[in-house]
Copies of this chain bind each other. A is one copy, B any other.
Amino acid sequence: MTDQMQRITLASRPTGAPTPENFKLESGPIPEPGEGEVLVRVHYMSLDPYMRGRMDDGPSYAQPVPLGGTMEGGAVGEVLASNAKGFEPGDMVMGPLGWATHAVASGKMLQKLDPTIAPIQTALGVLGMPGFTGWYGLTELGRPQKGETLVVAAATGPVGSMVGQLARLAGLRTVGIAGGTDKCAMATDTFGFDACLDHRAYDSAGDLRAALKEVCPDGIDIYFENVGGKVLEAVMPLMNVGGRIPVCGMISWYNAGGLGAGAGGEKDLLPRTWRMILVNRLSVNGFIISDHWDKLPSFLADVAPKVVSGEIAHIEDVAEGLAAAPEAFIGLLQGRNKGKQLVKLI
- Is A321 close to B, CB under 8 A? no
- A50 to chain B minimum Cβ distance, whole angstroms, is 10
- A206 to chain B minimum Cβ distance, whole angstroms, is 15
Q: Are the C-beta atoms of B264 and A250 separated by less than 8 Å?
A: no
The number of chain A residues with a CB under 8 A from chain B is: 44
> Contacts of A276 on B, CB cut-off 8 Å?
286
Name the residue among A262, A278, A284 with the largest chain B CB count within 10 angstroms: A278
**If A256-B271, A264-B271, A269-B264 touch, does A285 touch B288 (CB 8 Å cutoff)?**
no
Partner of A250, one of B225, B250, B271, B281: B271
Q: Are the C-beta atoms of B286 and A282 separated by less than 8 Å?
A: yes
Q: What is the bound-complex CA distance between A301 and B277, given in angstroms?
A: 30
Q: Are the C-beta atoms of B275 and A271 separated by less than 8 Å?
A: no
Q: What is the bound-complex CA distance between A228 and B59, given in angstroms?
A: 24
- A23 to chain B minimum Cβ distance, whole angstroms, is 25
- Is A169 close to B, CB under 8 A? no
- Is A259 close to B, CB under 8 A? yes
- Is A249 close to B, CB under 8 A? yes
**If A283-B285, A284-B285 touch, does A268 touch B278 (CB 8 Å cutoff)?**
no
Q: What is the bound-complex CA distance between A196 and B285, given in angstroms?
A: 28
Contact flags (1/0) for A67-108 with B, using CB distance below 8 Å?
Answer: 000000000000000000000000000000000000000000
- A39 to chain B minimum Cβ distance, whole angstroms, is 34
Closest to A252 in B: B271
Q: What is the bound-complex CA distance between A291 and B263, given in angstroms?
A: 36
**If A265-B270, A268-B263, A278-B250 touch, does A284 touch B283 (CB 8 Å cutoff)?**
yes
**If A281-B291, A284-B285, A286-B281 touch, does A250 touch B263 (CB 8 Å cutoff)?**
no
Closest to A285 in B: B283
Closest to A288 in B: B281
Q: What is the bound-complex CA distance between A225 and B288, given in angstroms?
A: 23
Closest to A243 in B: B286
Q: What is the bound-complex CA distance between A285 and B141, given in angstroms?
A: 12
> Contacts of A262 on B, CB cut-off 8 Å?
267-268
> Contacts of A225 on B, CB cut-off 8 Å?
274
> Contacts of A271 on B, CB cut-off 8 Å?
228-229, 250, 253, 256, 259-260, 263-264
**If A228-B274, A253-B274, A274-B250 touch, does A60 touch B279 (CB 8 Å cutoff)?**
yes
Q: Which A202-248 residues have a C-beta within 8 angstroms of B?
A: 225, 228-229, 232, 247-248
Q: Are the C-beta atoms of A278 and B286 separated by less than 8 Å?
A: yes
> Contacts of A277 on B, CB cut-off 8 Å?
247, 284-286
Q: What is the bound-complex CA distance between A142 and B72, given in angstroms?
A: 36
Q: Are the C-beta atoms of B275 and A259 separated by less than 8 Å?
A: yes
Partner of A275, one of B253, B278, B282: B253
- Is A280 close to B, CB under 8 A? yes
Q: What is the bound-complex CA distance between A316 and B262, given in angstroms?
A: 46
Instruction: State the A residues within 8 Å of B (CB).
Output: 59-61, 225, 228-229, 232, 247-250, 253, 256, 259-288, 291
In the complex, 11 of the A-B residue pairs with CB atoms within 8 angstroms, ordered by the A residue number, are: A61-B280, A228-B274, A250-B278, A260-B272, A262-B268, A263-B268, A264-B267, A264-B268, A267-B267, A282-B284, A284-B284
